[in-house]
């Protein structure tokens, strides 16, 4: 395994992809709930020690132990609830090992305990391999970034197959009558070739279905941003054969240098706000890998950020709702992007992604968090992982005390000219919420509470924060958390000490 900076210092996304395939341990990139009547998940009926879930997992990492992987060796997950189970499909990678290709499948009844149940394919799909060979490339021995959905009684799974040559990639479609298979490959949806044409890399699919029944795929990585492609709802393939779609999101390209990477889109439609939400992974796996969100009134856009700026303009967009972070007494987490967003039976939302412990960022753990919505319709995620916690309102007299507070606020380098070399963990600082309504420590100001919303007024801004009971994973105990945005769209996290 090479020094970690070999993956950090390369601009080429496919250098990072090469690390995945040749070394397995380096991959291409990288909350709430409780009672079943309020979240759709149920705490385990058998004895389970949640403290047994560790940050690293050397003892179960080998391929021979795949039945013990549970939440480990998970990368680029796609999660949906089908029947009694949440199913998770993920990229072909593993810590320190060479894994078989095929897309890994896991399932869980409670989003905490995960059971490994198999693979989608037993080998690489033939149509994708043939296309890559026809274009002069060699298909990598791994499938990436699946997306799963149910259409009627059929389960559809989109996957990416690529080559280390330029942007030579395909997105294919498999179908099954059961979420555990057997699966049938149904061919290619969209392709990209290393021919210098203007098109993004054909990987990282996600799909939205409109209330009227139209289907759209969103995909892309680096080079030329994120694209939207109309699908045939009946077949799941492109509505027009050969269509590549239209670009809807970009970051900026100055003097031959991208301002970091843009990839891994996830799309959802929220009927409460009647909007489509596009979650996008920014930057590099081993550096500031984070998630931004833009929203639109129509599935084809324009997608606008918090400030009303089109996602297809050459700037970095806000809000950034998760990024590499570090609470006190812990090494921190990075690589927390390329997300999946999904609901339970009660329409509560969750955000899940891989996460990599900063003490050794080649490990890849599945993190599932509650996702909440601000009053004006922006998603924010819990600073802590989901752990069956009680959803009842937190009383005001429980808020006074010492808190750790994290502000997710990277500084953009003008001109995009500085290469990223580290994750720049966003570290917590201490603040105190006094019973008299004052705030002191790293922030000075005042606070008021109208459950579940905590408002902090400080010099230069106002923070509106959603409060819920949670689990302090770093210290293995129950706590109270908050998450929200300030008036500029900057995300703020906290947990009570």
Q: Quote the pLDDT of residue 260.
A: 67
Q: Quote the pLDDT of residue 267.
A: 98
Q: Quote the pLDDT of residue 43.
A: 61
Domains of the chain: 5-381 (2.115.10.20), 399-496 (2.40.128.10)
Q: Quote the pLDDT of residue 50.
A: 96
Q: Quote the pLDDT of residue 81.
A: 98
* pLDDT tens for the chain, residues 1 to 497: 222 332 333 333 333 333 333 333 333 333 333 333 334 466 665 689 999 999 999 999 999 999 999 999 999 999 999 999 999 999 999 999 998 999 999 999 999 999 999 999 999 999 999 999 999 999 999 999 999 999 999 999 999 999 988 789 999 999 999 999 999 999 999 999 987 667 899 999 999 999 999 999 999 997 789 999 999 999 999 999 999 999 999 986 555 555 568 999 999 999 999 999 999 999 989 899 999 999 999 999 999 999 999 999 988 899 999 999 999 999 999 999 999 999 999 889 999 999 999 999 999 999 999 999 999 999 999 999 999 998 899 999 999 999 999 999 986 544 445 667 789 999 999 999 999 999 999 999 999 999 999 999 999 999 999 999 999 999 999 999 999 999 999 999 999 99
Going by C-beta distance under 8 Å and a sequence separation of 6 or more, which residues neighbour residue 389?
A: 32, 33, 34, 468, 469, 470, 471, 478
Contact 217, 228 (CB under 8 A): yes
Q: CA–CA separation, 51 vs 21, rounded Å?
A: 32
């Amino acid at each position: 395994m090479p020094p970690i900076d070999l993956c950090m210092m390369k601009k080429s996304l496919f250098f990072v992809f090469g690390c995945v395939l040749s070394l397995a341990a380096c991959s291409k990139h990288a909350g709430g709930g409780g009672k079943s009547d309020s979240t759709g998940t149920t705490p385990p009926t058998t004895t389970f020690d949640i403290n047994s879930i560790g940050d690293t997992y050397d003892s179960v990492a080998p391929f021979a132990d795949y039945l013990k992987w549970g939440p480990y060796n998970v990368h680029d997950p796609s999660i949906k609830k089908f029947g009694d189970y949440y199913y998770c499909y993920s990229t072909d990678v593993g810590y320190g090992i060479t894994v078989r290709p095929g897309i890994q499948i896991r399932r869980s009844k409670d989003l905490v305990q995960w059971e490994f149940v198999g693979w989608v394919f037993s080998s690489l799909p033939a149509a994708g391999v043939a296309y890559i060979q026809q274009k002069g490339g060699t298909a990598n021995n791994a499938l990436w970034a699946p997306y799963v959905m149910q259409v009627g009684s059929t389960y559809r799974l989109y996957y990416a197959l690529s080559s280390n040559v330029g942007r030579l990639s395909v997105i294919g479609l498999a179908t099954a009558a059961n979420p555990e298979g057997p699966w049938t490959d149904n061919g290619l949806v969209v392709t990209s070739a290393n021919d210098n044409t203007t098109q993004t890399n054909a990987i990282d699919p996600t799909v939205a279905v409109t209330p009227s029944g139209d289907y759209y795929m969103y995909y892309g990585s680096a080079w030329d941003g994120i694209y939207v492609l109309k699908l045939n709802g009946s077949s799941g393939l492109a509505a027009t054969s050969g269509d590549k779609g239209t670009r809807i999101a970009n970051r900026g390209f100055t003097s031959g240098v991208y301002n970091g990477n843009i990839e891994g889109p996830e799309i959802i439609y929220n009927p409460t706000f009647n909007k489509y939400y596009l979650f996008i992974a920014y930057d590099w796996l081993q550096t500031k890998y984070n998630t931004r969100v833009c929203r639109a009134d129509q599935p084809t856009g324009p997608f606008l950020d918090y400030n009303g700026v089109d996602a297809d303009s050459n700037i970095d967009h806000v809000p950034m709702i998760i990024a590499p972070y570090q609470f006190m007494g812990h090494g921190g987490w990075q690589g927390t992007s390329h997300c999946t967003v999904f609901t339970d039976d009660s329409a509560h939302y969750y955000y899940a992604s891989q996460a990599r412990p900063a003490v050794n960022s080649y490990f890849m753990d599945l993190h599932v968090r509650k996702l909440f919505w601000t009053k004006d319709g922006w998603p924010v995620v819990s600073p802590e992982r989901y752990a069956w916690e009680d959803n009842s309102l937190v009383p005001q007299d429980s808020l006074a005390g010492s808190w750790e507070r994290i502000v997710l606020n990277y500084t953009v380098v003008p001109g995009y000219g500085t290469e990223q070399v580290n994750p720049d963990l966003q570290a917590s600082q201490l603040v105190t919420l006094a019973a008299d309504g004052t705030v002191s420590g790293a922030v000075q100001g005042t606070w008021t509470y109208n459950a579940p919303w905590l408002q902090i007024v400080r010099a230069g801004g106002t923070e509106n924060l959603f409060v819920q009971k949670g689990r302090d994973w770093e210290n293995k105990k129950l706590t109270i958390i908050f998450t929200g945005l300030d008036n500029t769209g900057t995300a703020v996290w906290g947990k009570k000490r």
